[in-house]
Amino acid sequence: MVKDTDIVVIGGVRTPMGNFGGTLKDFMSYDLGKIAIEEVLTRTKISKNEIDEVMGGTTRQAGSGPNPVRTAALKAGIGFNVPATTINNACPSSLRAAILTTHSILLGETKVGLVVGMESMSNIPHLVKGLRWKGVRMGDVVIQDGWSDSNDPFVGYGMGITAENLCKKYGITRKEQDEYALASQKKAAQAQDNGWFDEEVIPIEISQKKNNPTIIFNKDESIRRDTTLEIMSVMKPAFKADGSVTAANSCGLTDGAAAIILTTRKKANELGIKPIFRIVSYATASVENAFMGDGPSVSIPLALSKAGMTLKDMDLIEVNEAFAAQVIANERVLKWQRDKLNIHGGAIALGHPTGCSGIRIVITCYNALKRICKEYGICAICGGGGATCAIVIQAE
């Protein structure tokens, strides 16, 4: 039943995904966020003055200033008087920001909220830890890659090992992972070739060096459309000598941003803007750090139970592909229909700019529902340290 108090989304866009060190490498996270914010405002034709609050997710914050979401909002022309908050909840950050914005609207504190997810993986800095206090009169200085922050201090290792833990827990083979990863690449390539991403992707003008023309970047450059099982099979394990998780069956490293605008159905009607989808329910949960990829198997049932629905009621399922092993593990538990899952490909092909992905999967899910003329979708994402969020949407 349609209600004035329904929380609806009136617009959603994302940037193309840029390879690690690729086309978007010179854009800081807040630059990417600015692009997404500007475009979602343009497409919805909503005045910037209508935005009461901006929330967003970004997880690789070093070198990006004290509040990168605030910076992105201001660069996009949002007023100085509009509060903006950066959320770091690992990979679910931007989806968590959307849930918190929903809370704010339901409480009457916000009428129109803008949520952005953004990440420049290419701009993660290098670090010299301890130099400030110890000083160095003689000897070597170790420069650490800021990527070391992806290691979970509680368990003492990174996310790749948590994927290996899932392989052992669920008996997941290398062949299963490679086959899943190949399917993701093929689905994403098909979606790109057929123009199925065109409506969600923002064309970006990129200035070249002197005397070179400006280029329009409007296609995800991360898709490995020519890969094969034969190519994948010879790749060495990435995280453990005797492991089965490789670069090919893990998410790509990409740069990108995505944004949505949320409000009530009543406010959308007042603005004369037709909602694109309704937020039906959502859930935030946590699982054991060492098995962080298990997250969606917990958050999905929670979100569905709040909606009074089951997985069979979902027309599409969108789960962020941190690792093929992680998706397969969740499939083992939830026993979903594979043909409903990530029908336009997932993060193995499109990449996983961590702060962006929570919103990106929701936008991709909505556009897939729209293409196949279906109604309900559930989106879920796991995160380092065991964080997880899920959301049920209904296309309008």
Per residue in 160-213, pLDDT (tens digit) is 999 999 999 999 999 999 999 999 999 999 999 999 999 999 999 998 877 778
What predicted TM-score, i.e. pTM, was given to this entire model? 0.96
Every domain of the chain and the residues it spans: 7-124+253-395
Closest to 115 (Cα-Cα) out of 130, 128, 132, 103? 103
Q: Cα–Cα distance between 149 and 158 in angstroms, integer?
A: 9
Kind of pairing, strands 376-382 and 316-319? parallel
Out of 106-115, 120-129, 324-333, 375-384, which region has the weakest mean confidence (pLDDT)? 120-129
Q: What is the pLDDT of residue 232?
A: 97
Kindly state the greatest CA–CA separation across the chain.
72
- Which residues belong to the active site? 91, 352, 382
Which residues are 122's β-sheet partners? none
| Number of other CB atoms surrounding residue 307 within 10 Å | 19
What's the pLDDT tens digit per position in 279-323? 999 999 999 999 999 999 999 999 999 999 999 999 999 999 999
**CATH fold of 7-124+253-395, please?**
Peroxisomal Thiolase; Chain A, domain 1 (3.40.47)
Residue 369 CA to chain centroid, in angstroms?
Answer: 18
